[in-house]
Structure 1
């Protein structure tokens, strides 16, 4: 239960205390915290008490359940991982793992239990990639328990194969991109154009500053990303890879026309006369692209669709997947391989045409002398005693 406030009269004065009550392994724990100002501080104090109590039980050799140990694991992840990662892991465990298997002790969770979870998620219609993400979170928690000597070893959970199905990619044609930009509100037109012609992620667009642009060389440096939430700072791009992308003529012209009113190229918009420093919010960006897509008569258009549009346009114009991978900032080639089916048959036609040519006996083009000319001279045979 959440912490609650207790008022008592001591020596004629009213004293307010935050009290807590929780249960671990069938045992009730209760007490009071120091004087605090608000409910959030009291909840944080309660969480510290719960974790300390659980740590004491673990130190005493009492094996925790998955529900109990999830608090320890998530508290560690909150310190070491990003806020979005922590929120995702919390959702995976509390919504999809603990309701059915949280009562099991850590040392009693086996691979067959993971197989039960996978089958349940498949029956519920979850995507295979989503199931693998949940398994990764569960594997991290079990591995952390093994690293901290709570359990002897962590069971190896088997992920689902995702190579059986070719992922369909939605992208826009050049005419649809032009219609989307023309139909967009003025404050969103340039941002949509840059997204479709550079392949930048929405977080990278929100974090883009004037200092990252070089109009002389027509290059955009992508050095950070903005989650779009005021409680989260800007961080390095996804997979930690900084990169540069070239400006097309229309991107170059669109950026030159913008007014520099902030360090950010697309600063946060004012709302009822109020504004905040920084890039645009996540909800504002979603509203902007939905408004533009509706005006253009397009359905299911997202910022990531514009990223697919950029990659698809490059591949269909004969750009190699290796170059596309570098421009998109993909961590590995598998992520870029989803665009391979869009590549034209230029390389195949070139290979067939080359096979129709006569075989070159001297591909290097160097002058080779005949065998007789190039053979070393034979040494004369001298009979024994002939030199006397």
Structure 2
């Protein structure tokens, strides 16, 4: 290998070597270095190629700056230090710019860029649509343009006031604030926000939104008879909820592989709690499900599929039509007293408690994650509670 030849310039301490083949203009490209004493040692550092804009005068000026700093005890004193300081300054400027951007980025931008994609992917269509509606109608108009880090409890009060003025229920206001809280949680998880969640400092409206009405046996009989007049299997869908305690979504998600006719059991794979559980068929439910299985195509997978065999996402309108025809809701203005499809599941639990079934057993059948969710039915068994205390008389 040929020895590298270094040539001096007219500037002391500045040297160069020529590239074997590459040209800069009509002259060979030149690579400049500087040589100087630093802390008693000779130090040589590369400056760069002429083709990259480096001139001998530039190298000399740089050398003069480093020598002057060394003499005055200032920094940088070497080219390496100068590069490191420049990189550190660039990093600091970048961090400051990111901090400025974070201070200015609006709630709307966080929603669009970070929350919306995750919510669409991870939530059910029904849940996402409800959140999107709350965001569009109430959240964005109140805080959408405010910098994300600057949203305060006072700003969230604006959401509450706007919804209250339009007679939105306390439960809807709770849901709106819960949506805002989730946006801040997502931002924290993604390390784009590190402050306090403003929802934590906001007073949440309290409400008992639990439905308290359940059907009498006569009302249930009237409803089932009316539902039989419709097609779409709405009668059997209602029967499964009334006598097995399943939620609407759990029923519509049922597949034939989930029905165990030999052991009279139904497997609920996708429950609200996220945990699978079993429900148990009454003789009537089993008999009618067996009839539906025989009349369904052998290739069918969904138990209560639509006309095309695909999964339904809503209870057929025949249910609400039947409730209206029977005038079950005619004299009730309190929504908790109105009969809806979920009333059937509520009736299932109420009837069990009235017949002496322990609350713990009812909780398991209902798929409740805590016994507290089942305790609302305790008042339906006053005789059982009275008998429990009576044992003290012995």
The alpha carbon displacement at 1:345 in A equals 2.4
The alpha carbon displacement at 1:167 in A equals 4.1
3-state secondary structure, aligned to 1:277: coil
Matched residues in 2 for 1:86 and 1:329: separation?
Answer: 24
Which residue of structure 1 aligns with residue 274 of structure 2?
240
Task: Give the direction of change, closer, same or farther, for the CA distance of 1:281–1:86 in structure 2 (3 Å limit).
Answer: closer
Question: What is the root-mean-square deviation in Å for CA atoms of aligned residues?
Answer: 2.7
3-state secondary structure, aligned to 1:221: strand
* 1:218-257 equivalent positions in 2, closer than 5 A: 218-223=264-269, 236-257=270-291
Matched residues in 2 for 1:308 and 1:197: separation?
Answer: 10
Does residue 321 of structure 2 align to residue 291 of structure 1? yes
Matched residues in 2 for 1:336 and 1:58: separation?
Answer: 53
Which residue of structure 2 aligns with residue 162 of structure 1?
206
Structure 1 unaligned segments of length 5 or more: list them: 1-56, 224-235, 270-275, 358-388
Which residue of structure 2 aligns with residue 214 of structure 1?
260
Matched residues in 2 for 1:205 and 1:260: separation?
Answer: 17
3-state secondary structure, aligned to 2:356: coil
Structure with higher RCO (Cα < 8 A, 6+ apart): 1
The alpha carbon displacement at 1:156 in A equals 4.2
Structure 2 unaligned segments of length 5 or more: list them: 1-95, 330-337
Which residue of structure 1 aligns with residue 380 of structure 2?
342
Which residue of structure 2 aligns with residue 117 of structure 1?
159
Task: Give the direction of change, closer, same or farther, for the CA distance of 1:93–1:294 in structure 2 (3 Å limit).
Answer: closer
The alpha carbon displacement at 1:343 in A equals 2.5
Task: Give the direction of change, closer, same or farther, for the CA distance of 1:351–1:90 in structure 2 (3 Å limit).
Answer: same
How many residues are paired up? 280
Kindly indicate whether the alpha-carbon contact (under 8 Å) linking 1:64 and 1:106 is maintained by their aligned counterparts in 2: yes
* 1:65-84 equivalent positions in 2, closer than 5 A: 65-72=106-113, 73-84=115-126
Does residue 180 of structure 2 align to residue 138 of structure 1? yes
Does residue 171 of structure 2 align to residue 129 of structure 1? yes
The alignment's TM-score, normalised by the length of structure 2, stands at 0.64
Does residue 369 of structure 2 align to residue 326 of structure 1? no
Task: Give the direction of change, closer, same or farther, for the CA distance of 1:168–1:238 in structure 2 (3 Å limit).
Answer: closer
Kindly indicate whether the alpha-carbon contact (under 8 Å) linking 2:211 and 2:343 is maintained by their aligned counterparts in 1: no
3-state secondary structure, aligned to 1:240: coil
The alpha carbon displacement at 1:64 in A equals 1.0
Task: Give the direction of change, closer, same or farther, for the CA distance of 1:98–1:294 in structure 2 (3 Å limit).
Answer: closer
Task: Give the direction of change, closer, same or farther, for the CA distance of 1:253–1:140 in structure 2 (3 Å limit).
Answer: same
Matched residues in 2 for 1:309 and 1:177: separation?
Answer: 9
Moved more, 243-252 or 299-308: 299-308
Matched residues in 2 for 1:114 and 1:265: separation?
Answer: 44
Kindly indicate whether the alpha-carbon contact (under 8 Å) linking 1:207 and 1:264 is maintained by their aligned counterparts in 2: yes
3-state secondary structure, aligned to 2:266: strand
The alpha carbon displacement at 1:198 in A equals 1.0
Matched residues in 1 for 2:318 and 2:165: separation?
Answer: 36
Matched residues in 1 for 2:152 and 2:99: separation?
Answer: 23
Kindly indicate whether the alpha-carbon contact (under 8 Å) linking 2:273 and 2:369 is maintained by their aligned counterparts in 1: yes
In the alignment, which of 114, 118, 138 is matched to residue 96 of structure 1?
138
Matched residues in 1 for 2:386 and 2:121: separation?
Answer: 52
The alpha carbon displacement at 1:138 in A equals 0.7
Which residue of structure 2 aligns with residue 301 of structure 1?
339
Matched residues in 2 for 1:167 and 1:295: separation?
Answer: 25
Higher helix share: 2
3-state secondary structure, aligned to 2:278: strand
Matched residues in 1 for 2:165 and 2:383: separation?
Answer: 40
The alpha carbon displacement at 1:178 in A equals 1.4
Which residue of structure 1 aligns with residue 312 of structure 2?
280
Matched residues in 1 for 2:239 and 2:97: separation?
Answer: 56
Does residue 365 of structure 2 align to residue 356 of structure 1? no
Which residue of structure 1 aligns with residue 11 of structure 2?
none
Kindly indicate whether the alpha-carbon contact (under 8 Å) linking 2:184 and 2:197 is maintained by their aligned counterparts in 1: yes
Matched residues in 2 for 1:326 and 1:181: separation?
Answer: 26
3-state secondary structure, aligned to 1:125: coil
The alpha carbon displacement at 1:296 in A equals 4.2
